[in-house]
């Protein structure tokens, strides 16, 4: 990285300091997502870490197929792909509460869903105080609600997720051609990593994979939203709209750059390697100011078709077991490779 790593103290006291002090060195700015974009770890991260940890913390294993189906939809296969972990849990718990078939199963098996109200209050608190959704702000919220046991548990889950990353997610290498593309980008652009992953996990990953040297700044969940990351860097560097490009795999990535009037290069789920193979041509168009218009529109059209806009359980002819089995091959392959002793329901 062009700038030194932030310390734990700096992350807690002023996580945005590097963003605010950012100085432009090149003619262009490229913002890059990491999970599911640079590295093929989105499925593993969710299926092996986030979801089983939540079911373990809240004793939801008896509704595993329903929890996984819903959580996978929001985190991996819908327009919400790549959303913040706390937003994802909010979406998942809300869907579980609203499904009549799930409510019947909960009654039959004497299971109670977690209380969602403290989570909702925390998310509202971050919005009102313009804070990033992450453990530092959750700890701050906890200090204001120190007798609410539910928040302690939520923080415990989030911390457990972070502790498990190095053992699974961090071991998955970048897609082929990523390093070559970064070298190409670094010749003409300042590179900003924008993510909803914690800063420390991001810095560890980029350094361990030998690609941090191409990057000016790493911005994690503690620094706010991806849109905020881009906004601050764009303003600090005084880049024009067509001098800013975002590379990402989720609807949130597209939204983040478009709310800043920038351009978008998608790495659609399941087509990531093809996207990196084709990136040099797109990059040449970008630095020659020939990207906006027909070329970008065609990419965006294909990208939007790759993300679902409505869940399977809201469609006619829905069958839960059939729906769960559709992703069963992905789950089994991941568990076999990365956690063969892990708990997984196979139907």
Is the predicted pLDDT of residue 346 greater than 80, yes or no?
A: yes
**Residue-level pLDDT at 207:** 93
**Residue-level pLDDT at 172:** 84
**Residue-level pLDDT at 168:** 83
CB atoms within 10 A of CB 281: 10
The mean of the pLDDT values for the chain is 94
CA distances from 225 to 107, 176, 195 (A): 38, 28, 8
| Rounded-to-integer distance, Cα 19 and Cα 222, Å | 12
* pLDDT single digits (tens) 240-262: 999 999 999 989 999 999 999 99
- Give the global pTM: 0.80
* pLDDT single digits (tens) 268-280: 988 999 999 999 9
Question: How deeply is 171 buried, as exposed, middle or buried, from its count of CB atoms within 10 A (0-12, 13-18, 19+)?
Answer: middle
Token pair 């905020």 in the structure block, residue: 228
| Rounded-to-integer distance, Cα 170 and Cα 165, Å | 6
55 Cα distance to chain centroid: 20
Residue range 146-152: average pLDDT?
Answer: 96
Range of lowest pLDDT (75-89, 161-175, 210-224): 161-175
**Residue-level pLDDT at 196:** 86
Range of lowest pLDDT (4-13, 123-132, 152-161, 178-187): 4-13
| Rounded-to-integer distance, Cα 146 and Cα 144, Å | 6
Domains along the sequence of the chain with CATH: 8-40+174-305 (3.40.50.1000), 42-169 (no CATH)
| Rounded-to-integer distance, Cα 145 and Cα 152, Å | 10
**Residue-level pLDDT at 82:** 86
**Residue-level pLDDT at 3:** 76
The answer to whether the Cα torsion of 251, 255, 258, 263 is positive or negative is: negative
Residues 6+ apart with CB under 8 A from 231: 259, 260
């Amino acid at each position: 990285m062009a700038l030194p790593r932030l310390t734990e103290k700096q992350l807690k006291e002023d996580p945005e300091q590097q963003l605010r002090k950012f100085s432009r060195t090149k003619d262009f700015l490229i913002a890059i997502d990491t999970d599911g974009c640079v590295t093929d770890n989105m499925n593993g991260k969710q299926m092996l870490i986030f979801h089983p940890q939540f079911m373990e913390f809240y004793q939801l294993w008896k509704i595993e197929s329903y929890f996984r189906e819903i959580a996978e939809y929001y985190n991996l296969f819908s327009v919400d792909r790549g959303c913040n972990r706390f937003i994802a849990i909010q979406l998942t718990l809300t869907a579980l509460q609203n499904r009549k078939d799930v409510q019947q199963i909960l009654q039959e098996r004497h299971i109670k869903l977690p209380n969602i109200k403290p989570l909702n209050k925390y998310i509202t608190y971050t919005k009102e105080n313009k804070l990033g959704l992450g453990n530092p702000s959750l700890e701050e919220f906890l200090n204001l609600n120190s007798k609410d046991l539910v928040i302690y548990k939520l923080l415990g889950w989030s911390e457990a997720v972070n502790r498990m990353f190095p053992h699974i997610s961090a071991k998955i290498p970048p897609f082929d051609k990523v390093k070559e593309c970064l070298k190409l980008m670094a010749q003409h652009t300042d590179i900003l990593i924008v993510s909803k992953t914690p800063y420390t996990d991001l810095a560890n990953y980029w350094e361990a994979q030998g690609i941090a040297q191409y990057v000016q700044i790493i911005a994690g969940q503690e620094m706010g939203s991806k849109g905020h990351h881009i906004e601050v860097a764009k303003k600090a560097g005084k880049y024009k709209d067509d001098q800013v490009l975002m590379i990402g795999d989720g609807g949130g990535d597209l939204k983040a750059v478009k709310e800043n009037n920038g351009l978008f290069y998608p790495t659609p789920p399941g087509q990531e390697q093809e996207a990196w193979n084709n990136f040099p041509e797109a990059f040449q168009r970008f630095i020659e100011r020939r990207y906006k218009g027909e070329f970008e529109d065609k990419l965006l059209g294909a990208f939007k078709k790759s993300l679902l806009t409505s869940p399977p359980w809201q469609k006619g002819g829905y069958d839960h077991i059939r729906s769960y089995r559709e992703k069963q091959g992905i789950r089994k392959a991941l568990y076999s490779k990365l956690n063969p002793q892990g708990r997984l329901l196979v139907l």
